[in-house]
């Protein structure tokens, strides 16, 4: 092949690569961030009351209401989730991407369409719910107040019995109200238990008091963008095993990390936004 033909073919190949890259970028920006995935999983729970056998527990996480993407997607997603009529609904933190008081008004608009369970709805806070540097208790309280006003009980190192399921809620590890010993004092080995904990890195801390059961987390967004067949290059956790989905901790604890409904930046690739629907079963 002479030089002229080689350059012509190379130019065509370059244009093809640019076009493919442009389409990939457009997909990651405008398609996948709004392509909701309802993930259905079984959740075997020790000591589950017969009245909860076959009932559904829905998890929503990391709404990140704010100025960085169109939060109408969150409202539409919640409306779709309401149609599933879940029995129990849990929220696992990061309701706002807090910049100023505007996000609290935006959150109130979004939570006007909140999914609530027929038996009850509970929540824990995430690091972003504490405002700048995760240290503003006033922001956290106002976020919690808006959830409570919509019938969602916010657990801050506390527990709630919902239809016979003891749901324990740890406040966020990066926040200023992390009191795991107080929360885990509510653990009853003879009851059916589930723990809500925004940041999955807490699973590696010595705070669990021999807990056996499920832990529902968020925080990672599944990495939000990942290469095919590879792990995501960026994860906001120390334990890089904690990406997304079901992870057996091999000590009687089962971790599930939700990929998040919202996002800090409007960009997702091979990590679709998620709402998880668990079917409760007796272990």
What CATH number is attached to the domain comprising 74? 3.60.21
Same domain, 109 and 56: yes
Same domain, 24 and 59: no
Calpha distance 116→67 (Å, rounded): 25
Calpha distance 27→229 (Å, rounded): 18
Same domain, 18 and 114: no
Q: Which domain holds residue 17?
A: 1-30
Calpha distance 276→113 (Å, rounded): 18
Same domain, 94 and 153: yes
Any bridge partners for residue 254, and if so which?
214, 248
Same domain, 214 and 278: yes
Q: Which residues does the chain have with pLDDT short of 50?
A: 6-7, 10, 15, 17-18
- Residue 2: C-alpha distances to residues 10, 15, 47, 71 (Å): 12, 20, 76, 55
Calpha distance 281→53 (Å, rounded): 5
Residue 22 confidence (pLDDT): 67
Residue 178 confidence (pLDDT): 98
Same domain, 56 and 161: yes
Residue 21 confidence (pLDDT): 59
Q: For the whole model, what pTM was predicted? A: 0.93
Residue 1 confidence (pLDDT): 55
Calpha distance 153→264 (Å, rounded): 25
End-to-end CA distance of the chain: 68
Calpha distance 178→135 (Å, rounded): 11
Q: Name the token pair of 281.
A: 């079963």
Residue identified by tokens 């009191």 is 179
Closest by Cα among 38, 49, 278 to 162: 49
If one counts every other C-beta atom within 10 angstroms of the C-beta of residue 142, the result is 19
- Compute the half-sphere exposure of residue 183: CA atoms within 13 Å on the CB side of its CA: 25
Same domain, 101 and 221: yes
Same domain, 150 and 275: yes
Tens-digit pLDDT profile for residues 57-67: 999 999 999 99
Same domain, 123 and 99: yes
- Residue 281: C-alpha distances to residues 82, 191, 203 (Å): 22, 14, 23
User: Total structural domains in the chain?
Assistant: 2
Helix (H, G, I), strand (E, B) or coil at 106: helix
Residue 18 confidence (pLDDT): 45
Same domain, 20 and 157: no
Residue 68 confidence (pLDDT): 87
Same domain, 21 and 94: no
């Amino acid at each position: 092949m002479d030089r002229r033909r080689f350059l012509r073919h190379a130019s065509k190949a370059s244009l093809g690569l640019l076009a493919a890259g442009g389409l990939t970028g457009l997909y990651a920006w405008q398609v996948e961030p709004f392509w909701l995935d309802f993930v259905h999983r079984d959740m075997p729970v020790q000591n589950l009351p017969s009245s909860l056998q076959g009932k559904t527990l829905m998890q929503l996480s990391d709404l990140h209401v704010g100025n960085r993407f169109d939060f109408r997607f969150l409202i539409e997603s919640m409306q779709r989730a309401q149609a599933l009529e879940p029995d129990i609904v849990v929220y696992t933190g990061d309701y706002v991407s807090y910049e100023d008081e505007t996000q609290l008004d935006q959150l109130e608009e979004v939570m006007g369409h909140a999914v609530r369970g027929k038996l009850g709805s509970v929540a824990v806070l995430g690091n972003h719910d504490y405002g700048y540097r995760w240290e503003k208790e006033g922001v956290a309280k106002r976020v919690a107040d808006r959830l409570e006003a919509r019938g969602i009980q916010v657990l801050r190192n506390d527990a709630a019995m919902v239809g016979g399921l003891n749901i324990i809620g740890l406040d966020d590890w990066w926040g200023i109200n992390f009191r795991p010993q107080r929360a885990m004092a509510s653990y009853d080995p003879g009851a059916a238990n589930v723990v809500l904990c925004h940041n999955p890195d807490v699973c590696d801390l010595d705070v669990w008091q021999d807990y056996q059961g499920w832990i529902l987390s968020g925080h990672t967004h599944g990495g939000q963008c990942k290469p095919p067949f590879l792990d995501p290059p960026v994860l906001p956790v120390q334990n890089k095993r904690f990406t997304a989905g079901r992870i057996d901790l091999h000590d009687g604890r089962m971790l599930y990390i939700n990929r998040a409904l919202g996002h800090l930046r409007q960009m997702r690739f091979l990590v679709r936004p998620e709402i998880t629907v668990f079917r409760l079963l007796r272990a």
